[in-house]
C-alpha cells in the first residue's frame, strides 16, 4: 500500500515541477525586465527575479490553480522590492568593475530619447517608479497595478499623474511638443 501511495504522489510532484518550470521558462525574461525597470541595476534585478521565482515555486501548489500566476508573481516582486528599499540598514552597493557584456550598444537609428526617458524614470521616487513600470512598461490596468502595489486605484492614478508631470518637466522638448508620454517604450 505504501509503494502505491509513493507512486501516485511521485508523478504529481513531478507534474507540478514540470508545470512550474514551463511557466518559469515562459516568464523569466519578462520578470527580469520588470525587475530591472524597478531596480535600475542588472545585478539587483537578477536577485529580485530569483527571490520572486523562489517564492512562487514555494507557493506553486496553491497559486498554480489561481486565475493569474503572473499577477501573483508581479505582486511578490513589487512587495519584495519595496521591502528591500524600506530597510533602514540597507546600503546601496556600487559596482566598480563592469564587464563589456553590460555595455549598451546603440542602434544606428538611436536618437537618445529612450535613454533620456529611462534616466528620468530612474530618478522618480520608488512608488512613482513602480507605478510607471507596471502601468506603462508592463501595460497593466489601473486596477491590476493597484492590486500589485496593494494600494487603491486612486493612489495609482495620483502617483502616475505626478510621475508623468515630473517626466514632462525633466525631459527636454516634451512640455509643449508631447503631452502624452504613454506611447514611449523602453528599448532593451
Clarify whether residues 73 and 116 are in a common domain. Answer: no
> 77 and 129, same structural domain?
no
Q: Are residues 83 and 148 in the same domain?
A: no
How many structural domains is the chain composed of?
Answer: 2
Residue 40 has what pLDDT?
85
The tens-digit pLDDT sequence of the chain (188 residues) is 444 333 334 444 557 888 899 999 999 999 999 999 888 889 989 999 999 999 999 999 888 887 789 999 999 999 888 887 666 455 555 666 655 555 555 555 555 667 778 888 888 998 899 999 999 888 889 999 998 888 999 999 999 999 999 988 887 665 444 444 545 443 33
Proportion of the chain in helix, strand, coil states, percent, rounded to 5 = 70, 0, 30
Is 69 in contact with 63 (CB distance < 8 Å)?
Answer: yes
Find all residues with CB under 8 Å of 34, minimum gap 6, and list them: 74, 77, 133, 134, 137, 138
Picking from 42, 68, 103, the residue at the C-terminal end of a domain is 103
Q: Are residues 47 and 83 in the same domain?
A: yes
pLDDT of the residue at 99? 58
One domain for residues 95 and 30 = yes
5 and 87 belong to one structural domain:
yes
Q: Does residue 126 sit in the same domain as residue 87?
A: no
Give the CATH number of the domain where residue 52 resides: 1.10.1740.10
Shared-domain flag, residues 115 and 51: no
* Domain around 1: 1-103
Calpha distance 134→140 (Å, rounded): 6
> What pLDDT does 2 receive?
40
Go through 128-162 and write b for each residue having 16 or more CB atoms within 10 A of its CB, e for each that does not.
Answer: bbbbbbbbbbbebebebbbbbbebeeebbeebbee
pLDDT of residue 153: 92
How is 77-111 classified by DSSP, letter by letter?
Answer: HHHHHHHHHH-TT----------GGGS----TT--
CATH of residue 132's domain is 1.10.10.10
* Together in a domain, 62 and 117: no
What local confidence, expressed as pLDDT, does residue 56 receive? 93
Q: Which of 62, 82, 103 is the last residue of a domain?
A: 103
Residues 144, 53 within the same domain: no
- Please give the grid coordinates belonging to residue 168: 514632462
* Judgement on whether residues 163 and 88 belong to the same structural domain of the protein: no
Same structural domain, 9 and 98: yes
Last residue of a domain, which of 58, 84, 103? 103
Amino acid at each position: 500500500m505504501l509503494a502505491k501511495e509513493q507512486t501516485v504522489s511521485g508523478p504529481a510532484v513531478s507534474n507540478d515541477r514540470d508545470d512550474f518550470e514551463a511557466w518559469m521558462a515562459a516568464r523569466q525574461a519578462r520578470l527580469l525586465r520588470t525587475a530591472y525597470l524597478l531596480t535600475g541595476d542588472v545585478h539587483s534585478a537578477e536577485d529580485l527575479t530569483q527571490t520572486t521565482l523562489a517564492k512562487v515555486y514555494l507557493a506553486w501548489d496553491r497559486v498554480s490553480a489561481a486565475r493569474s500566476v503572473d499577477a501573483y508573481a508581479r505582486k511578490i516582486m513589487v512587495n519584495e522590492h519595496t521591502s528591500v528599499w524600506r530597510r533602514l540598514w540597507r546600503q546601496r552597493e556600487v559596482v566598480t568593475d563592469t564587464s563589456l557584456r553590460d555595455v549598451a550598444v546603440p542602434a544606428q537609428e538611436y536618437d537618445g530619447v529612450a535613454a533620456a526617458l529611462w534616466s528620468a524614470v530612474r530618478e522618480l521616487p520608488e512608488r512613482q517608479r513602480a507605478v510607471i513600470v507596471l502601468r506603462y512598461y508592463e501595460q497593466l490596468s489601473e486596477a491590476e497595478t493597484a492590486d500589485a502595489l496593494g494600494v487603491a486605484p486612486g493612489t495609482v492614478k495620483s502617483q502616475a499623474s505626478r510621475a508623468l508631470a515630473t517626466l514632462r518637466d525633466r525631459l527636454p522638448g516634451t512640455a509643449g511638443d508631447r503631452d502624452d508620454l504613454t506611447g514611449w517604450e523602453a528599448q532593451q
